[in-house]
Chain A
Amino acid sequence: GAVVSQHPSWVICKSGTSVKIECRSLDFQATTMFWYRQFPKQSLMLMATSNEGSKATYEQGVEKDKFLINHASLTLSTLTVTSAHPEDSSFYICSARVTGSVGEQFFGPGTRLTVL
């Protein structure tokens, strides 16, 4: 089956620093990738839709200058949390949709971000 990886799997950083999270589709091309945020014991909240070669589409209430998304190739999307603060601590999950598919998304294992 299709595999999506994320790196790093967990990261601890100081307040004010920036953190980059990578999402890769390992065995398929993904024109579209999605970034979600999950708080403890809560559901996934869609943050943005990342399209290869174009600007990401952000959901209402998500600061695009805070969460920078770059989808430079058909197998890689990155999420950079800029000037991270403790309230940005969360579990970030990406998913990728196979190019030309009818909707199935494959999810990465998630990245646990802790901002001190």
Chain B
Amino acid sequence: GEDVEQSLFLSVREGDSSVINCTYTDSSSTYLYWYKQEPGAGLQLLTYIFSNMDMKQDQRLTVLLNKKDKHLSLRIADTQTGDSAIYFCAESINFNKFYFGSGTKLNVKP
């Protein structure tokens, strides 16, 4: 599969902004996604961005895509304790196979 890489851990204080980074290798990706996984649960789609976009904002979430550097980031504004979870970035090629990163565990301290 394709290589999608993320840092493993991020710790922030409640109210701060969180930035989770992801790099991918395949330049033919059509969509890039951010998913959230809470303990023992499946994946919840947070947001996605089409590969010809640079930025997408959805309430507290901002996705930035640098296609030249193959770098994707997810910014969570005003991070809450309920945001503590594992966040996966994923890329899809031709809308079929998804390749996931290893996940970033976000810990929000009260």
Q: Is the CB of A107 within 8 A of B44?
A: yes
Q: Is the CB of B102 within 8 A of A43?
A: yes
Q: A-B pairs with CB below 8 Å: how many? A: 51
| Closest chain B CB from A65 CB (angstroms) | 22
Chain A at the B interface: mostly helix, strand, loop or mixed? Answer: strand
Whether A93 touches B43, Cβ cut-off 8 Å, given contacts A43-B88, A46-B1, A104-B48, is yes
Whether A107 touches B42, Cβ cut-off 8 Å, given contacts A44-B88, A49-B96, A102-B95, is yes
| Closest chain B CB from A109 CB (angstroms) | 4
Question: Most chain-A Cβ atoms within 10 A of its Cβ — which of B43, B101, B103?
Answer: B43
Q: Does A42 contact B (CB under 8 A)?
A: yes
Interface on B for A, CB 8 Å cutoff? 1, 30-31, 35, 40-45, 48, 88, 92, 95-103
